């Protein structure tokens, strides 16, 4: 069984080879097997990676989750992006957001970022819409 210590060792190994802490290497570079394991670690491909046990809980999707799914499918259907672009953008969120956000929250985050980055929606438009939704949810919860 993988322990928290094993998982921490993997993330520490990743931290040692990130650009922020650059180690001078010979050219051509030679790396250890442990460094190679860290380099090939991809966030969304967690099979075989050390991790703590996670309890599987079956649940119905909430309305916002299904709305996020449909929105992303419509973006794909209309052509601005595809599923592979979404998956790549999720990995680019980094470990903190990737593992810290619920599944469909990652989809919503990368969809919003994509729309802003492509100039299809301005940050002002997005902020106004977020405020409208937040107000509507607060009023509904009263």
Active site residues per annotation: 103
What is the Cα Rg of the chain in Å?
Answer: 20
Q: How far apart are CA 46 and CA 57, in angstroms?
A: 19
């Amino acid at each position: 069984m993988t322990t928290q210590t094993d998982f921490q060792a993997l993330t520490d190994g990743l931290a040692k080879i990130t650009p922020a802490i650059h180690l001078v290497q010979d050219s051509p570079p030679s790396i250890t097997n442990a460094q190679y394991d860290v380099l090939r670690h991809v966030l969304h491909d967690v099979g075989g990676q050390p991790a703590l046990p996670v309890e599987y809980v079956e649940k119905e999707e909430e309305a916002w989750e299904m709305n996020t799914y449909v929105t992303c499918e419509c973006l794909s259907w209309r052509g601005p992006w595809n599923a592979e672009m979404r998956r790549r953008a999720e990995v680019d969120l980094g470990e903190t957001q990737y593992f810290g956000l619920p599944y469909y929250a990652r989809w919503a985050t990368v969809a919003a970022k994509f729309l802003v980055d492509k100039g299809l929606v301005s940050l002002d438009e997005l902020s106004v819409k977020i405020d409208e939704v937040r107000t509507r949810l607060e009023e509904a919860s009263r």
